[in-house]
Amino acid sequence: MKITVLGATGGTGQHVVRRALDAGHHVTAVVRDPARLPVGADPRLDVVIADAFDPDEIAAAVSGRDAVVDALGPRPKAEATVCSRGAAAVVAAMTANNPTARLLVVTGSGHVRDAGDGPFTRYLFKPLIGSTLLKKQFDDFARTERLVFDSELRWTVLRPPQLTDGGRKPYRTAVDRNVRGGLKLSRADLADAIMAALDDPATVGRVVGLGY
């Protein structure tokens, strides 16, 4: 499979690139600074320097691919529009150049309150942090998802909880709802979940909740 990874130098993106290469896929990593991609030379890895927020710049990187993974995430000290700007660009680029490919987009579970949450999380914890500390980030996740849902692409949205740099261990998933009590997930396991969704046609047009 030919896979393009946006946000390839980020915490999640690096894991996705490694997992995809280990699985024998051909990977196109879209980066601003190649020096930040700690992956050794590999004949199945192409590194493309481009602005992930510009659909014209990423058009060639998404054309002819089987799947595109949007692993762009919030950045410290950056304006809280990274996810939605990236989603707008990739949706536009794929719609124009490769509308039948798979699109996997990472957002988060914090901005969504549903039946998968316990009462404390749903009615107290999430409303509190969503109106204070993480309001801008959660608003950006919501904008991102609207852009993806409104597209006609073969999308899957993955909603992890708080991400960590821990190792791999068993995790839980839920389709179209959050995972009860799933408050954390390692980036390594998120990458595994992304690769699993790529091979699962049942996730097309669905949201996958994640957590331990």
Q: Determine the average pLDDT of the residues in 31-48.
A: 90
Neighbours of 96 (CB within 10 A): 13
Q: Determine the average pLDDT of the residues in 91-97.
A: 98
Can you give the residue range of the structural domain that contains 124? 2-211
Q: How many CA atoms lie within 13 A of 154 on its CB side?
A: 17
Q: Determine the average pLDDT of the residues in 171-183.
A: 94
Per the structure, the count of domains in the chain is 1
Q: Please write the tens of the pLDDT for every residue from 116-168.
A: 787 767 776 777 677 777 888 989 999 999 999 999 999 999 999 999 999 99
pLDDT over 90 for what percent of the chain? 79
Q: What is the pTM of this model?
A: 0.92
CATH number of the domain encompassing residue 97: 3.40.50.720
Phi, psi of 73 (to 5 degrees): -135, 170
